[in-house]
Chain A
């Protein structure tokens, strides 16, 4: 019995650790990822550990992610913290219970901001919804309530 359970436990642990993995990627890779279409609606949130309004609104995303599992919405969280803050990013992600694609952007230079959205000034929090047809809808401010976030996702879905 033990001999069967242990490998299963091991695989389960592996799966969990894979799900929690935070990828460090370059702005070019991010722009490429966002432009490639995987047939899903993607909700991309740009945040940082030091950004209070970001940290305030992230629980709404966690709640929405929990409720929308069946809805084919992929949640992508992009931290723009300095690379030297990588451990703080991991800690905050764990503390907030962020799930989905976790990215720590190695963001040097400024050109990539235009490539994500030419109307975005670079102020965070910033949230981008990408529909399966590639259409992009931006939200340039903090979501004040969970309902605000939910209606943003819903309204965009009907577009």
Chain B
């Protein structure tokens, strides 16, 4: 009995270690845990708030990163195209504002007003959502498809294959993924990579 207690304790300890030091990042096909993050309008946003959606385009992005800026118009266009079709954009800023003052909540409010964002721009103050998703850089996209099991990850990666020149893009990965989901087809490319700004984690 004593040894059993011991092994349970060790198991619990091991579990603690596993969960605290190796947060499992979502993979394609995983269902995501809902979150509740503060929007630039002061209200909190969760995935469950909007009952009518077919899914979401979650984009980890931020104010300061030149690559995020290069994609800003394309992010706004994605929301314009796909919000009416049931796949709205939800932008999340994961950076530690102490490390990057440009990415403070106040500056997020300013930026979203200046540019007229039509989508929520949420601050991930504890950075837990970015960790749960396994986001590493900005911009980093996760397309979620609503199923009976919840919100399933259908695509992870880049918006398209040309950061510098939107006119020279050959593969529109996010568009292709969402269009496939809307048509009930298989997502053609489920994972891509891109150069981006590393997320500034709190130390």
Q: Which B residues, 128 to 174, have Cβ-Cβ distances below 8 Å to chain A?
A: 136-137, 140, 157-158, 161-164, 168, 170
A44 smallest CB distance to B (angstroms): 15
B199 adjacent to A123 (CB under 8 Å) = yes
* Known A108-B162, A109-B161, A110-B161: A122·B195 in contact at CB below 8 Å: yes
Interface size on B, residues (CB 8 A): 22
Flag B166-203 by CB within 8 Å of A: 1 or 0 each. 00101000000000000000000000111111111000
Closest to A141 in B: B198
A123 adjacent to B198 (CB under 8 Å) = yes
A123 adjacent to B164 (CB under 8 Å) = no
* Known A110-B158, A110-B192, A113-B193: A125·B164 in contact at CB below 8 Å: no
B189 smallest CB distance to A (angstroms): 10
Given the complex of chains A and B, what is the CA–CA distance between A122 and B156 in angstroms?
Answer: 13
Question: Is B66's CB within 8 Å of the partner chain A?
Answer: yes
Given the complex of chains A and B, what is the CA–CA distance between A137 and B136 in angstroms?
Answer: 19
Flag A91-117 by CB within 8 Å of B: 1 or 0 each. 000000000000000011110011000
Residue among A48, A83, A84, A108 facing the most chain B CB atoms (10 A cut-off): A108
Task: List chain A residues, Cβ under 8 A from B200.
Answer: 53
Given the complex of chains A and B, what is the CA–CA distance between A109 and B168 in angstroms?
Answer: 10
Closest to A144 in B: B203
* Known A121-B193, A123-B137: A108·B161 in contact at CB below 8 Å: yes
* Known A50-B66, A110-B158, A110-B192: A124·B197 in contact at CB below 8 Å: yes
Residue among B137, B140, B197 facing the most chain A CB atoms (10 A cut-off): B197
B161 adjacent to A114 (CB under 8 Å) = no
Closest to B66 in A: A50
Closest to A50 in B: B66
Question: Is A82's CB within 8 Å of the partner chain B?
Answer: yes
Given the complex of chains A and B, what is the CA–CA distance between A114 and B191 in angstroms?
Answer: 11
Task: List chain A residues, Cβ under 8 A from B193.
Answer: 110, 113-114, 120-122
Closest to A125 in B: B198
B64 smallest CB distance to A (angstroms): 9
Task: List chain B residues, Cβ under 8 A from A48.
Answer: 66, 195
Given the complex of chains A and B, what is the CA–CA distance between A114 and B162 in angstroms?
Answer: 16
A122 adjacent to B196 (CB under 8 Å) = yes
Residue among A107, A110, A120 facing the most chain B CB atoms (10 A cut-off): A110
* Known A122-B137, A123-B136: A107·B195 in contact at CB below 8 Å: yes
B79 smallest CB distance to A (angstroms): 23
Given the complex of chains A and B, what is the CA–CA distance between A113 and B140 in angstroms?
Answer: 15
29 example contacts (A-B, Cβ-Cβ < 8 A) are as follows A46-B195, A48-B66, A48-B195, A50-B65, A51-B197, A51-B198, A53-B198, A53-B200, A83-B164, A107-B195, A108-B161, A109-B161, A110-B158, A110-B192, A110-B194, A120-B193, A121-B137, A121-B140, A122-B158, A122-B194, A122-B196, A123-B136, A123-B195, A123-B197, A124-B195, A124-B197, A124-B198, A125-B198, A141-B198
- Residues of A whose CB lies within 8 Å of any CB of B are 46, 48, 50-51, 53, 80, 82-84, 107-110, 113-114, 120-125, 141-142
